[in-house]
Amino acid sequence: MTRTLLAVHAHPDDESITMAGTLARYAAEGARVCLITATLGEEGEVIPPELAGLAAPVADQLGGYRLTELERACACLGVDDHRWLGGLGTYRDSGMVGTPSAAHPRAFHRARTGGPAHEEAVAALTEVLEQVRPQVVATYDADGGYGHPDHIATHDVGLAAAVRAGVDRVVAVVRPRRESLQALQALAVPPGLRAARPEDLGFTVDDEAVDIRVDVERYADARGCALAAHRTQLDLLPGGFTLSNRFAQPLLPVECYRVLHGVGTGGGVVDDLFAGLP
């Protein structure tokens, strides 16, 4: 049986920031890798001044541009099966809590558990899972990694659909806190940028909460290529990256996960998302 990994993300660039090395590694090793993205990321802040006119408050053309960025990132990672949840344009980037964009009728945060769009989104993802039949689904923890409402909706929808479809293992991408802070302290921050504060590092958990550590050092070039593809959203740095807030964050040589549901790892930390699965 071909090993199959399906990753569920909220916006273009989330896949590259959190698990680009993992996606590249398994694709290179011959696993089937499918990426699902919920929204076009229309509410993102734009870094390059020459592209500032694409932003939602101006021309509202950023989503179409980010679609092409995601296509380039997927090519860097060797991911040739990418799909939009429910079909392209079904859901829109909600922006942050309390912003006008959250009131949009297609805002993806409405798909959170208990929301009016939850069952529709779960059904759409379940249909894909039943087609692809992954052994592993990778998404976010219950807090979405850092509280973004679309990330929380992605967790809610991803977990519910995976349980419904009988997926063997569901994992959340996380950062080991102690290791991440050590990498942050060692990061060389270019002039004009600032090192991220510890509270700026999303997805962090106690190091002991990590179940799976995927070594991605050999795939650093693919990860860098994918990150650089998302030029409206981030700048790639030696050993890290910065978002529009201009806080430099480190990249680790491993990408880490904890098991949310299904078959556990049998105790101890393993180095393979498929470890212990049939």
Please return the burial class of 17, using the count of CB atoms within 10 Å of its CB with bins 0-12, 13-18 and 19+. buried
Q: Is 118 annotated as a binding residue?
A: no
Residue found under tokens 């700026």: 200
Q: Is 151 annotated as a binding residue?
A: yes
Q: Which amino acid is present at 275?
A: A
In a 13 Å sphere around the CA of 78, the CA atoms on its Cβ side amount to: 17
Q: Which amino acid is present at 242?
A: T
Task: Say if residues 257 and 210 touch (Cβ distance below 8 Å).
Answer: yes
Q: Please state, in angstroms and rounded to a whole number, the distance separating the CA atoms of residues 147 and 122.
A: 20
What six digits make up the tokens of 21?
Answer: 């090395």
Q: Is 14 annotated as a binding residue?
A: yes
What six digits make up the tokens of 106?
Answer: 């297609």
Number of H helices, E strands in the chain: 6, 12
Pairing of strands 169-176, 194-195: unpaired
Query: Cα Rg for the chain, rounded, in angstroms?
Result: 18
Give, in order, the Cα–Cα distances in Å from 19 to each of 5, 7, 26, 55, 140: 12, 9, 11, 26, 11
Annotated binding site for Zn(2+): 11, 14, 151
